């Protein structure tokens, strides 16, 4: 089987004004390359529900070949902890099975309230506790994606593939961050090409805030071009097939 290319976009539901226009530009560039997007949707936010313009755009994109994934609920471990540092740990990073199930239920109801649905769960910050994976399976979700792999419940396999993104250490000073930015862009590109050459799954994870960084957008498009040149098959998370080599013990 050839390499697979999965490109996801998160953070639009609570992004800064004007970000949707940047998302449209990225989507158009990917359309020109025949690459669909998987949109990671957070249905609840301290800022309120997603704007109708965004919901209409997502509905149109999914009708044209893109896909949706549930991306947590409100991105805090405690709904009362908005604005705290707790959310940086990842909403589902440490939840036991029962609590993860309750939060997934609330998230799915909130998503349905927006007129959207998905059988895919992509953990916020790609961090999913073992209990979260079990809860996602319990609820009949087909896919649960975390930092190091994609659980394909219908097939009972885990596709081992690391999510590649641009997150940097916020504690760095400005000079270190500038140097690390250039290094991170090069590393993402090189790692994606390496995985493609091994016929693996290349997972490129873009956040809404990345769209405001031209160097990151350019890196994503250059990386997509390079991975496609290796013969990779562009696909969304819901359509992701398994392979015998991905089966866990």
CATH number for 125: 3.20.20.370
CB 39 within 8 A of CB 26: no
* Residues paired with 6 in a beta bridge: 203
One pLDDT digit (tens) per residue for the chain, 249 residues: 789 999 999 999 988 889 999 999 999 999 999 999 999 999 987 777 889 999 999 999 999 999 999 999 987 655 444 444 444 578 999 999 999 999 999 999 999 999 999 999 999 999 999 999 999 999 999 999 999 999 999 999 999 999 999 975 444 455 566 778 899 999 999 999 999 999 999 999 999 999 999 999 999 999 999 999 999 999 999 998 755 444 432
Residue 47: its pLDDT value, please? Answer: 73
| Closest C-alpha among 143, 160, 244, 146 to residue 201 | 160
CA distance 53 to 211: 18
Count the alpha carbons within 13 Å of 173 in the hemisphere toward its beta carbon. Answer: 1
CB 84 within 8 A of CB 133: no
Q: DSSP alpha helices (H): ranges in 64-167?
A: 97-113, 130-138
Q: Which domain holds residue 119?
A: 4-246
Structural domains counted in the chain: 1
CB 103 within 8 A of CB 95: yes
């Amino acid at each position: 089987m050839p390499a697979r290319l999965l490109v996801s976009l998160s953070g639009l539901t609570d992004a800064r004004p004007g970000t949707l226009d940047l998302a449209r530009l990225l989507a158009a560039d990917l359309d020109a390359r025949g690459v669909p997007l998987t949109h990671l949707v957070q249905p609840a936010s301290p800022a309120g529900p997603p704007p109708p313009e965004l919901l209409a755009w997502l509905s149109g994109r999914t009708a044209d070949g893109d896909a949706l994934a549930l991306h947590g609920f409100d991105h805090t471990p405690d709904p009362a902890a908005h604005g705290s540092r707790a959310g940086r740990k990842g909403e589902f990073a440490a939840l036991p099975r029962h609590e993860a199930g309750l939060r997934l239920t609330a998230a799915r109801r909130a998503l349905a309230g927006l007129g959207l649905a998905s059988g895919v769960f992509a953990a916020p910050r790609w961090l999913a506790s073992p209990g979260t994976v079990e809860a996602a399976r319990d609820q009949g979700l087909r896919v649960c994606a975390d930092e190091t792999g994609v659980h394909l419940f219908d097939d009972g396999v885990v596709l081992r593939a690391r999510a590649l993104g641009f997150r940097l250490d916020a504690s760095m000073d400005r000079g270190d961050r500038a140097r690390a930015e250039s290094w991170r862009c090069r590393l993402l590109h090189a790692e994606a090409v390496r995985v493609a050459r091994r016929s693996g799954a290349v997972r490129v994870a873009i956040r809404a805030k990345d769209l405001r960084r031209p160097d990151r957008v350019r890196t994503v498009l250059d990386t997509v071009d390079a991975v496609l040149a290796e013969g990779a098959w562009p696909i969304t998370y819901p359509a992701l097939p398994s392979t015998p080599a991905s089966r866990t013990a």
